[in-house]
Amino acid sequence: MNEKLVERIDNNPKYHELVSKRNSFGIKLGIFVLVMFYAFILTIAFNKEILATKIGDGLTTVAFPIALAILIISFITTVIYVRRANGEFEDLTNEIKNDVKDLV
C-alpha cells in the first residue's frame, strides 16, 4: 500500500473521528447485548424458579417471552448499527476518501 496515502489518512482528523465514533458506538451496543444475554443466563443458573413460572394456560413459561424479547432486541440493535454505519459512518468515510483521492 502507498505509504504516503496511509500517512495522509492517519493524519486526517475525520479518520480519527470516524474510528472514535464507530468504536464507541460498537462497544456500547455490544455491552448492552452482552448484559442482556448474561443476565438471562445468570437468572437461569441461580434462580430457575422465576423463569419456570407458568403463564397463561400453563403451556408456556416466563422464560419463552423473555428469550424471544432478547432475540428481537438483538436484531434491533443490529439494525440500529447498520443504519448508523450506512449513514453517518459512510458519510465520514466518503469525506476521508475525497480528502485523499489525489493520492490514489
Q: Which residue has the cell 444475554?
A: 37
Q: What pLDDT band is residue 93 in, cutting at 50, 70 and 90?
A: very high
**Whole-prediction pTM:** 0.80
Q: Which residue has the cell 448508523?
A: 84
Q: Which residue has the cell 438471562?
A: 40
Average pLDDT over residues 18-25: 96
CA 77 to chain CA centroid, Å, is 6
Sign of the CA dihedral running 49, 50, 51, 55: positive
**Domain locations along the chain:** 15-103
Q: Residue 104: what pLDDT?
A: 66
Q: Which residue has the cell 489525489?
A: 102
Q: Residue 56: what pLDDT?
A: 82
pLDDT: is 100 or 85 the higher one?
85
- Specify the DSSP class assigned to residue 56: T
